[in-house]
Amino acid sequence: MMNQILSCNRICLVLGMLIMMLPSCTKEHVPTQPNILWLTYEDTSPQFIGCYGNEEAHTPVMDQLATEGIRFTSAFSTGTVCSPSRFALITGCRTTRFATGHHRSYYPVGDSIEAFPKYLRDAGYYTSNNSKTDYNTSKRHHFRKTGWNESSGKAGWWKRKPGQPFFAVFNSFHSHQSRTMTNPWWKYKEQILDSLKSEDVILDNEIDVPPIFKDTPEMRNDLSRIYNAIQLTDQHFGRILNRLELEGLKDSTIIFCFSDHGQGMPWGKTYPRAMGYRVPFIIYFPKMYQHLSPWGTQVVTDAMIDFVDLPATVLSLAGIEPPQYMDGNALLGEFKEGSKKYTVGGLDRTGENTTLCRSISDGKYIYNRNFMPFQSEKRWQKYFDFSDISQHIREDYRNNRLNEEQAGLLKLKGNATFYHLEEDPWEINNLKNEPSLVSMIKDFEEALKSDLIKNRDAHFIPEYSLKLSQLTPYELSRENDFYPAEEVIEQAFKCGDKEALENHLQGLKHENDIVRYWSAVSVYSHFRLFGHDKRMNVISTDAYAPADVFIQAVKYQTYSGNENTQSQLLKYIASENETLAPLACQLLLLNPEIDEQFLEKILQTCAKSGLPVTKECGELFENKFKGKPLEYKMFW
């Protein structure tokens, strides 16, 4: 009997020890390669999401994800339009090194650069993309083929092998600018309103109009599109997360939820300001992976996130060392480096409009440098100017119905702006001339300049030369005889400086094409910002075509009746070079008026062009100077 009791005691002791060991066993068997889910959406700023303080927004799915996870207040995209941002997201590389900031430009980037999901595939992950790519490089098809097990409208984690870790991306298109701004109302109704229950539709009178817009019935109607499109996005994500939970995967999946850049409306997308760069960003850690979060959970953090950090971060979470060519820091996982002090973003050519702006932010402040200050933030672009909201803004501006802040969108602002994002989230009060901030602003400016020179920003080379070169933009930007980056960027930083005209005029005599180009840009900008100066009368022509376009534009504004100048500009508009023709058109579009005979010649030349971009410029001339409505034959 005693032996039986001792045996029972031993059994109980062993069982007790086994039970005590269970937690450690469970911990040891936490998968080292977590499932990772990206929920990405289009063209949305934090100000329009519920968990970021907008009480009119209806985004319960994202709000709940933020409540359970980490909400970031200082997350920034690489660019203010989709394709540059998505290049950074797929490669972990800055666009500045590869000239991939130009929207839909498709430049080569070299053999060594890969889509980062390829490294996940190589490590045993199942990778799926549903379904937008828009990678903005000639390697885009290669990226799609090598990066994803499947990239389609039907792709998802559900096609992986049993037990195989996954990296799945779902992109919701509902909040794209086409829905929130550009498409006509009937198309918006078809794409958005008809997919919402009538009781869920957010009405015009239920929203607050931001101070950057005039509060009118038309504007409320325009802005309501944003709220309803984002609500439909939220519902889309809800269905994906429901499936994840039903399949028992939420407890083993780290979820990232973010927009590709800022709001698809005036002041946001394609604008050089935080409204264009800053994005809503949430990370959710299930319980088994909460130890990986340096921020804890159920918190809000101002930790900086830059899109180039995300590929390195995902690889690090999977236990993969990020390749050396990546510019981003791993914010999580085995190879964690931590956040940067600053994030640097850029705006380059979009569609038919040439521009170059750079921004640097520490999350609290943002410094924006406009290297082409001859045009306002609201530039002439058909895809934007077709929209009702753009037409309403331009009409109100013409009729002096906008207050000073609202009208600022269409006025020249010089070469720099500086905003306090915490106190001024709509970026109304430009602090660049604030005496108490002189030292701080100088620090931001110098940090930006140092970054651009160090990375030899390839966008300071005109696209005219990028397209003609047999070298990749990266390689070309390393050819110092062709592109003396420090000298060029120093020259460009003087653009918009009222006291630097003599420097610009001397620069027109420089032996280097790119230095002369930026000198010509600066002379033209001086004319637009400060008016004619008799010292400009000596300028002639330039053998480097991009520089000469700016010189001829100055000469036209000075001597508008000069037939030789008109002839030269028409020659550029007639060019089959897809960079020179729209550039000449854009500079002429900035004139308040154009001689009727010359305008007819411009329209005829645009109509005869074989380039769609030049034909679109012709439509913009007719819209601005003849009041003809812009048209599209199809919508998407």
Q: What CATH number is attached to the domain comprising 290? A: 3.40.720.10
Query: Given 341, 363, 391, which residue is the final one in a domain?
Result: 341
Task: Based on the fold, state whether residues 305 and 403 are members of the same structural domain.
Answer: no
Query: Given 341, 370, 399, which residue is the final one in a domain?
Result: 341
Task: Based on the fold, state whether residues 390 and 314 are members of the same structural domain.
Answer: no
What residues in the chain have per-residue pLDDT under 50? Answer: 1-28
pLDDT digits (tens, 9 = 90+) for 266-302: 999 999 999 999 999 999 999 999 999 999 999 999 9
Number of structural domains, the chain? 2
* Alpha carbons 322 and 335: distance in angstroms, whole number: 8
Query: Given 341, 358, 373, which residue is the final one in a domain?
Result: 341
Cα angle 341, 90, 68 (rounded to 5 degrees) comes to 65
* Alpha carbons 619 and 175: distance in angstroms, whole number: 27
Residue 369 in any domain: the answer is no
Task: Based on the fold, state whether residues 398 and 275 are members of the same structural domain.
Answer: no
Residue 404 in any domain: the answer is yes
List strand residue ranges (DSSP E) for 234-350, in order. Answer: 253-259, 281-284, 299-306, 343-347
Which residue type, as a one-letter code, is found at position 434?
Answer: E
CB within 8 Å of 224: residues ≥ 6 apart: 202, 203, 204, 206, 207
Which residue matches tokens 């997308």?
A: 269
DSSP H or E segment with residue 264: none
Residue 562 in any domain: the answer is yes
Task: Based on the fold, state whether residues 311 and 396 are members of the same structural domain.
Answer: no
Task: Based on the fold, state whether residues 310 and 427 are members of the same structural domain.
Answer: no
Task: Based on the fold, state whether residues 473 and 539 are members of the same structural domain.
Answer: yes
CA distances 560 to 171, 258, 527, 588, 594, Å, are 49, 49, 14, 11, 8
Contact 515, 435 (CB under 8 A): no
Residue 553 in any domain: the answer is yes
Which of 8, 81, 14 shows the shortest CA–CA distance to 43? 81
* Alpha carbons 628 and 25: distance in angstroms, whole number: 73
pLDDT at 29: 53
Residue 349 in any domain: the answer is no
Residue 180 in any domain: the answer is yes
Task: Based on the fold, state whether residues 387 and 319 are members of the same structural domain.
Answer: no
pLDDT digits (tens, 9 = 90+) for 13-71: 444 444 344 443 334 356 789 999 999 999 999 999 999 999 999 999 999 999 999 99
Residue 240 in any domain: the answer is yes
pLDDT at 263: 98
Which of 616, 447, 464 shows the shortest CA–CA distance to 550? 464
Tokens encoding 526:
């001086």
Task: Based on the fold, state whether residues 563 and 444 are members of the same structural domain.
Answer: yes
Collapsed DSSP state (helix, strand, coil) of residue 564: helix
Collapsed DSSP state (helix, strand, coil) of residue 73: strand
Which of 94, 622, 77, 103 shows the shortest CA–CA distance to 353? 103
Query: Residue 223's domain spans which residues?
Result: 35-341
Which residue type, as a one-letter code, is found at position 281?
Answer: F
Task: Based on the fold, state whether residues 548 and 401 are members of the same structural domain.
Answer: yes
pLDDT at 538: 87
Q: Does the pTM of the predicted model rise above 0.75?
A: yes
pLDDT at 560: 61
Instruction: Work out the number of other CB atoms within 10 angstroms of the CB of residue 87.
Output: 31
Which residue matches tokens 């991939």?
A: 100
Task: Based on the fold, state whether residues 304 and 410 are members of the same structural domain.
Answer: no
Residue 26 in any domain: the answer is no
Task: Based on the fold, state whether residues 47 and 134 are members of the same structural domain.
Answer: yes
- The arrangement of strands across the sheet holding 416-420 comes to 343-347, 357-361, 365-370, 416-420
* Alpha carbons 208 and 206: distance in angstroms, whole number: 7
Task: Based on the fold, state whether residues 279 and 399 are members of the same structural domain.
Answer: no
